[in-house]
């Protein structure tokens, strides 16, 4: 199948800082891909590059091919045209991503009015319909409320309604559940999964929560210090982890391996982006470090005896999980 | 002990939104002036060239030869000072509001351009603002007024040119703070262009600070107009603004103090009312002062 979104060798630099360093991944139509990593791993910057949201000072190289068109090679105005109709995005903090001065209903249906020529009278009906679709109770009343009158979960639902209003083929969700209560998180993830199934859109899910990933993602892309360290189908990566960072993340998720008493943290800190360590960026925190790791940066390669799409960037993948 | 602890707590609770009394009070004063400016000249016909030498230099609260009460007295050519002040209020407030709107518009446009697009345009506009701020405003106004000559339109132009900087600075700051907000990015991801973002995200966020600056600024504008007129560089003598009226009474301060003093007091009260209004609006809308 032709990928819907194909990111190849993406590099983003802000002055002396390389935030994203040679990232490649694909999102197929109708597929959920989770991009996982801790703060500063470059996962959000990658998606901002796709949506053309990076500030002016950013240096972006590589290619971002959406549906056969390289977005980086074309003017930003063309990406803007795709935004909403083809690509859509929802953000981490649903309060700050809603405009505080307009009624929620108006914001939800605004792009229908602006892009599809819906009349202002139809706007309300569209908004109510979209709000019902994302499970906002009593939409006829809530359509006239302001964002501050909504709870966190309802705001995120409103954001999702807004993003879906033009029927995009790819939805990018930047940590959509981070700012929400745990119970609400589950509801929002279920809603996203349901909507993805209904519409057949691709979903790129940015998260740092492997617990979220396991339930919904078809494939995972694990990022560390601006690079992809491991990628593959979710099942494959969980069962046959081939990078020590993946192993560390899985060990720090509650309920993994049945050890309910203590979680195992990854020692140390993520590298300072101004002074990245030589060789493998993970080596100062790695249990399996050898001399090679300190000098040579490993590349993302297929693993012997595993499916072809399972790749890891490690000198000693066989040591992990052994 | 308990009393001293309770007192501020009760006050805080009853306070609600800050500055309510001050906003209502100062607005009432401003409205009085506005009513006088609009309806006063309709009730007291004022003729700028009329001369009534029998009734010149009457003190406030005295009666004319025809038996009418002159509340504010008369000037050196026998004109009723109250009528003259009402006419002056009309001129001064028209000039003040026009200059305010014009400088506000210039400041808003420049501020949004500088803040939203940034880069060289931002540097250019803000250096321009710096240069103008480094130069005394009234001096600049006098310079331009001297070149353009006295007329109502010219005064408006002069005051707008010297007043846009404050608006531009405040608006630019607000734009810079707003444009990195997530809902602006969210709007962008739905395909919105610059104009749409400016209209729906940027301008509404500028509304409150803009109003505050406008209320603080209009007092300055009216005062500057009076100063220019006093110096003979503002409105022509045939258009009696407060500045020209004050200037005309300058030589008679010893014998007829009211010709200069009453318009001066009127001017001061209006400017103070606008100042109080601006402060109260800022207390209510400036998030940095909230919760103090």
Domain boundaries, chain B: 18-53+61-289
Mean pLDDT for the stretch of residues B142-162 = 84
Which CATH fold would you assign to the domain B18-53+61-289?
Answer: MetI-like fold (1.10.3720)
Helix, strand counts (H, E) of chain A: 11, 12
Q: Taking CA A108 as the corner, what is the angle to CA A102 and CA A112, rounded to the nearest 5 degrees?
A: 115
Output the pLDDT for position B14.
Answer: 45
Output the pLDDT for position A262.
Answer: 72
Mean pLDDT for the stretch of residues B155-166 = 87
Output the pLDDT for position B11.
Answer: 47
CB within 8 Å of B92: residues ≥ 6 apart: B222, B225, B226, B241, B242, B243, B267
Mean pLDDT for the stretch of residues B248-276 = 87
CB within 8 Å of A47: residues ≥ 6 apart: A35, A89, A172, A174, A204, A206
Give the gap in angstroms from C-alpha B194 to the nearest C-alpha of chain A: 11
Do A80 and B193 make contact, defined as CB atoms within 8 angstroms? Answer: yes
Q: Name residue A11's beta-bridge partners.
A: A21, A61
Residue by residue, DSSP assigns A252-309 as TSTTGGG--S---PPPS-PPPTTSPPSSSTTGGG-TT--HHHHH-PPP-EE-TTS-TT
Residues of B in contact with A56 (CB under 8 A): 118-119
CB within 8 Å of A80: residues ≥ 6 apart: A52, B188, B191, B192, B193
Do A93 and B119 make contact, defined as CB atoms within 8 angstroms? Answer: no
Mean pLDDT for the stretch of residues A186-212 = 88
Give the gap in angstroms from C-alpha B196 to the nearest C-alpha of chain A: 10
pLDDT in tens, A226-255: 999 999 999 999 888 889 998 888 887 776
Residue given tokens 């300190």 in the structure block: A294
Residue given tokens 């001017």 in the structure block: B267
**Closest alpha carbon to A208 in A196, A223, A197:** A223
Do B189 and A88 make contact, defined as CB atoms within 8 angstroms? Answer: yes
Span of A72-76, A104-108, B72-76, B85-89 with lowest mean pLDDT:
B72-76
**What gap in Å lies between CA B259 and CA A181, rounded to an integer?**
71
Q: Any chain A CB within 8 A of the CB of B149? A: no
**What gap in Å lies between CA A228 and CA A299, rounded to an integer?**
9
Q: Any chain A CB within 8 A of the CB of B201? A: yes
Break chain B down into helix, strand, coil percent, rounded to 5: 75, 0, 25
Whether the predicted pLDDT of A322 surpasses 70: no
**Closest alpha carbon to B266 in B230, B222, B216, B218:** B222
Radius of gyration of chain B (CA): 23
- Spell A112-143 as b/e; 16+ CB within 10 A means b: bbbbeebeeeebbebbbbbbebbbbeebeebb
At residue B171 the predicted structure's pLDDT band, cuts being 50, 70 and 90, is: very high
**What gap in Å lies between CA A174 and CA B242, rounded to an integer?**
61
**Closest alpha carbon to A3 in A215, A220, A170:** A170
**What gap in Å lies between CA B252 and CA B249, rounded to an integer?**
5
Mean pLDDT for the stretch of residues B108-136 = 91
pLDDT in tens, B41-85: 777 777 766 777 777 777 777 777 777 777 777 777 777 888 888
Phi, psi of B62 (to 5 degrees): -100, 175
Q: Which strand ranges, in their side-by-side order, compose the sheet holding A69-70?
A: A17-27, A5-14, A58-66, A69-70
CB within 8 Å of A186: residues ≥ 6 apart: none
List the structure tokens of A55.
């500030």
**Closest alpha carbon to A205 in A62, A1, A5:** A5
Residue given tokens 């803040």 in the structure block: B115
Give SS3 for B66. coil
Output the pLDDT for position A37.
Answer: 87
Average pLDDT over chain B reads 82
Preferred mutation among B179, B180, B183 to probe A, highest tally of A CBs within 10 A: B183
Whether the predicted pLDDT of B287 surpasses 70: no
**Closest alpha carbon to B264 in B255, B254, B253, B275:** B253
Mean pLDDT for the stretch of residues A132-161 = 90
Burial of B29 (0-12, 13-18, 19+ CB in 10 A): middle
Residues of B in contact with A91 (CB under 8 A): 182, 185-186
Q: Are A72 and A23 in contact (CB under 8 A)?
A: no
Give the gap in angstroms from C-alpha A94 to the nearest C-alpha of chain B: 9
Output the pLDDT for position B9.
Answer: 47
Could you tell me how far CA B277 lies from the centroid of its own chain?
Answer: 11
Whether the predicted pLDDT of A167 surpasses 90: no
Preferred mutation among B120, B121, B181, B186 to probe A, highest tally of A CBs within 10 A: B186
**What gap in Å lies between CA A12 and CA A60, rounded to an integer?**
5
Output the pLDDT for position A142.
Answer: 92
List the structure tokens of B54.
């029998």
Whether the predicted pLDDT of B13 surpasses 50: no
**A95: nearest CA partner in chain B:** B183
**Closest alpha carbon to A111 in A93, A94, A89:** A89
For the whole model, what pTM was predicted?
0.76
Radius of gyration of chain A (CA): 21
Do A89 and B182 make contact, defined as CB atoms within 8 angstroms? Answer: no
Output the pLDDT for position B170.
Answer: 92
**What gap in Å lies between CA B256 and CA B250, rounded to an integer?**
9
**What gap in Å lies between CA A302 and CA B1, rounded to an integer?**
76
Q: Which strand ranges, in their side-by-side order, compose the sheet holding A202-207?
A: A87-90, A170-174, A202-207, A32-36, A219-224, A227-233, A311-312, A301-302
């Amino acid at each position: 199948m032709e990928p819907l979104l194909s990111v190849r060798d993406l590099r983003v630099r802000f002055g002396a800082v390389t935030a994203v360093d040679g990232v490649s991944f694909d999102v197929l139509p109708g597929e959920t891909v989770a991009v996982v990593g801790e703060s500063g791993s470059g996962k959000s910057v990658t998606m901002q590059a796709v949506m053309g949201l990076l500030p002016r000072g950013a240096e972006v190289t590589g290619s971002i091919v959406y549906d056969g068109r390289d977005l980086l090679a074309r003017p930003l105005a063309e990406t803007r045209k795709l935004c909403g109709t083809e690509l859509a995005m929802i953000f981490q903090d649903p309060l700050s991503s809603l405009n505080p001065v307009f009624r929620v209903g108006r914001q939800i249906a605004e792009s229908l009015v602006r892009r599809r020529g819906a009349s202002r009278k139809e706007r309300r009906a569209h908004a109510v319909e979209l709000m019902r679709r994302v499970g906002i109770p009593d939409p006829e009343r809530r359509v006239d409320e302001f964002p501050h009158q909504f709870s966190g979960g309802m705001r995120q639902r409103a954001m999702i309604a807004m993003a879906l209003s033009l029927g995009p083929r790819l939805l990018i969700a930047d940590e959509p559940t981070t700012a929400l209560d745990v119970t609400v998180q589950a509801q929002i993830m279920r809603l996203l999964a349901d909507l993805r199934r209904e519409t057949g859109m691709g979903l790129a899910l940015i998260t740092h929560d492997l617990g979220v990933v396991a339930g919904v993602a078809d494939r995972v892309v694990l990022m560390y210090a601006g690079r992809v360290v491991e990628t593959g189908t979710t099942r494959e990566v969980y069962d046959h982890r081939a990078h020590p960072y993946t192993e560390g993340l899985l060990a720090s998720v509650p309920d993994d391996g049945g050890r309910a008493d203590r979680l195992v943290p990854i020692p140390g800190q993520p590298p300072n982006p101004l002074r990245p360590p030589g060789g493998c960026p993970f080596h100062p925190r790695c249990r399996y470090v050898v001399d090679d790791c300190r000098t040579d940066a490993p590349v993302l390669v297929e693993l012997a005896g595993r499916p072809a799409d399972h790749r890891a960037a490690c000198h000693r993948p066989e040591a992990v999980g052994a | 002990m308990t009393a001293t602890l309770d007192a501020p707590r009760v006050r805080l609770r009853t306070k609600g939104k800050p500055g309510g009394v001050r906003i209502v009070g100062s607005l009432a004063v401003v409205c009085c002036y506005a009513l006088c400016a609009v309806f006063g000249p309709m009730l007291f016909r004022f003729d700028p060239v009329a001369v009534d030498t029998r009734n010149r230099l009457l003190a406030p609260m005295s009666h004319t030869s025809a038996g009418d009460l002159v509340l504010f007295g008369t000037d050196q050519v026998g004109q009723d000072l109250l009528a003259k002040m009402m006419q002056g209020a009309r001129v001064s407030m028209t000039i003040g509001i026009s200059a305010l709107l014009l400088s506000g518009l210039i400041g808003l446009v420049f501020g949004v351009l500088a803040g939203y697009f940034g880069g060289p345009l931002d540097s250019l506009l803000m250096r321009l603002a710096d240069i103008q701020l480094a130069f005394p405003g009234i001096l600049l106004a006098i310079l331009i007024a001297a070149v353009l000559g006295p007329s109502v339109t010219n005064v408006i132009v002069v005051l707008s040119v010297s007043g846009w900087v404050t608006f531009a600075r405040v608006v630019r700051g607000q734009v810079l703070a707003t444009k990195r907000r997530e809902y602006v990015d969210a709007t962008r991801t739905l395909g919105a262009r610059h104009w749409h973002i400016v209209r729906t995200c940027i301008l509404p966020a500028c509304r409150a600070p803009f109003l505050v600056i406008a209320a603080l600024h209009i007092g300055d504008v009216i005062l500057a107009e009076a100063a220019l007129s006093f110096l003979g560089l503002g409105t022509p003598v045939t258009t009696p603004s407060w500045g020209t009226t004050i200037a005309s009474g300058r030589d008679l301060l010893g014998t007829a103090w009211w010709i200069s003093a009453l318009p001066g007091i009127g001017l001061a009260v209006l400017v103070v009312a606008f100042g109080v209004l601006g402060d109260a609006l800022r207390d209510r809308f400036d998030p940095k002062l909230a919760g103090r």
